[in-house]
Amino acid sequence: MKKLLKKMVLFVLAFAMCMGMGASLTACGGDSGEIKIGVGLYQDSGPAVTATKNYLNGLADALNCKFEFVTLSQTNDEQNKTTAQSLISGGCKGLILTMDGGFTASVLEECRKAGVYLAGYLSDYETSYNNIKNNEYFLGTVVDGSYTGYAWGTHVAERIIAEGHKNIGMIKFPSYAFPHQSEMDQAFREKIAEYNATAADGDKITMTATTELQFQPLAESYLEENPNLDAIFAMCAGVDFVYPTLVKKNKTNIKLYTAGFSTDNDVLNNFGTSGNGCIQELVFSNVEAITYPLVMMINKITGHEFSDNPSEAQRVDSSQIIITNNEQLNLVKTKSLYCTGNVNDAFLSVDDVKALLAENGGTHAKLVEAVQSMDIDDLAALNN
């Protein structure tokens, strides 16, 4: 009886969504009445991809959606444009894309002509935002953590000071690709300068000039040129681009504080006080942040709008999981959707997401709050 009732409720909800769009099954994205949404990710495999797909597929039936996943190029704008056009021609009523670039404006024009909406996921749309934020077919983006990098830069500096490190290497990706890593760099240096202003000469902290990695592993010569380092602040994905070099050169005594994450036990078994103890901080963004563009898109496609809907497309921060000790790492490994791939471990349940929709009384403020309430403390609270 419960199963039958559940099916009846889902049928009524699906029918109501289509009626709200002018009673047109075609407007809902196909003869089945489903809303077809294309999701373009910047990788084709890995834990983040698995978790994102599992999360969306776990929401699909209740939201009356069908998702088509594609992999975008990190370097080829023309390829991304072609991929987006294929999704549009394939009947998608909305596109959620992780990549931004020279193709964005032209894709948005294709969306306008087809009546399709575009939103971003873990991308700040730095390249195109100012030109598209007032386009009615662009619904905004959820950023990969904070839009600015000052807070994390200050946080890492405070850890460096507390741990007593004195010689710090500074490494980041190029500014043209990750402009906000410069803010991390600046905030870190300002906090260290503040400490040095009152520290005794023997306690002052020195920092190298910042090295920019061109998406290649850290050169072995870097460690030869900086032989006295006791810690590295890698604003880039240090697990992939810095740690392997430290291992190869037998320099895992240098403590690594870095953005990025890995589910590889060869990495995680050397975190905190475990193994060689090289890696001291890891950071990743929650895949559940995709709830922001998804809800905004469903609202638009079904003809509903928040009472506090923003007048222009927003660039919304999301909370990140910042792992600083072994207890936190174990919690993440066993209880986070990112690591387990289990939709039951998601910060937001099906009912939570449905409640955020405008038609169910959701508001933009509540939606933003939801994607900004998913840090390590929130994960611990969910599992107490």
44 lies in which domain range?
Answer: 23-142+287-319+354-382
Q: What would the mean pLDDT of 363-384 be, rounded to a whole number?
A: 96
DSSP 207-232: EPPPEEP-SSPPPHHHHHHSTT-SEE
Q: What would the mean pLDDT of 80-102 be, rounded to a whole number?
A: 96
Work out the pLDDT band at 33, boundaries 50, 70, 90.
Answer: confident
Cα distance between residue 197 and residue 204, in whole Å:
8
CA atoms within 13 A on the CB side of 200: 3
Alpha helix (H) residue ranges in the chain: 2-19, 47-63, 77-89, 104-114, 129-132, 150-163, 181-196, 220-225, 238-241, 243-248, 265-268, 291-301, 326-335, 337-340, 350-356, 364-371, 376-382
In sequence order, the β-bridge partners of residue 279 are: 256, 271
Q: What would the mean pLDDT of 123-151 be, rounded to a whole number?
A: 94
In a domain, 111, yes or no: yes
Q: What would the mean pLDDT of 219-228 be, rounded to a whole number?
A: 97
User: Could you say which of 264, 285, 306 is where a domain stops?
Assistant: 285
In a domain, 347, yes or no: no
In a domain, 6, yes or no: no
Clarify whether residues 136 and 196 are in a common domain. Answer: no
User: Structure pTM?
Assistant: 0.87
Closest CA to 157 of 197, 198, 207, 203: 207
CB atoms within 10 A of CB 7: 10
Please give the pLDDT value at position 381.
Answer: 96
Q: What would the mean pLDDT of 336-345 be, rounded to a whole number?
A: 96
**382 pLDDT above the threshold of 50:** yes
Please give the pLDDT value at position 28.
Answer: 37
Please give the pLDDT value at position 8.
Answer: 36
Clarify whether residues 111 and 164 are in a common domain. Answer: no
At 382, which helix (H) or strand (E)? helix 376-382
In a domain, 339, yes or no: no
One-letter identity of residue 236: C
User: How does pLDDT run across 142-151, given as a tens digit for each residue?
Assistant: 999 999 989 9
In a domain, 249, yes or no: yes
Cα distance between residue 13 and residue 17, in whole Å:
6
Clarify whether residues 295 and 281 are in a common domain. Answer: no
Clarify whether residues 29 and 129 are in a common domain. Answer: yes
Average pLDDT, the chain: 91
Task: Please check whether residue 231 is in contact with residue 254, taking contact to mean a CB–CB distance below 8 angstroms.
Answer: yes
Computed on alpha carbons and rounded to an integer, the radius of gyration of the chain in Å comes to: 23
User: How does pLDDT run across 283-330, given as a tens digit for each residue?
Assistant: 999 999 999 999 999 999 999 999 999 999 999 999 999 999 999 999
Domains in the chain, number: 2
The residues, ordered by sequence, that sit 6+ positions from 305 with a Cβ below 8 Å of its Cβ are 299, 358
Clarify whether residues 217 and 165 are in a common domain. Answer: yes
Work out the pLDDT band at 32, boundaries 50, 70, 90.
Answer: low
Clarify whether residues 194 and 225 are in a common domain. Answer: yes
**177 pLDDT above the threshold of 90:** no
In a domain, 337, yes or no: no
* CA–centroid distance for 204 within its chain: 35
Q: What is the CATH number of the domain that holds 177?
A: 3.40.50.2300
Cα distance between residue 286 and residue 338, in whole Å:
7
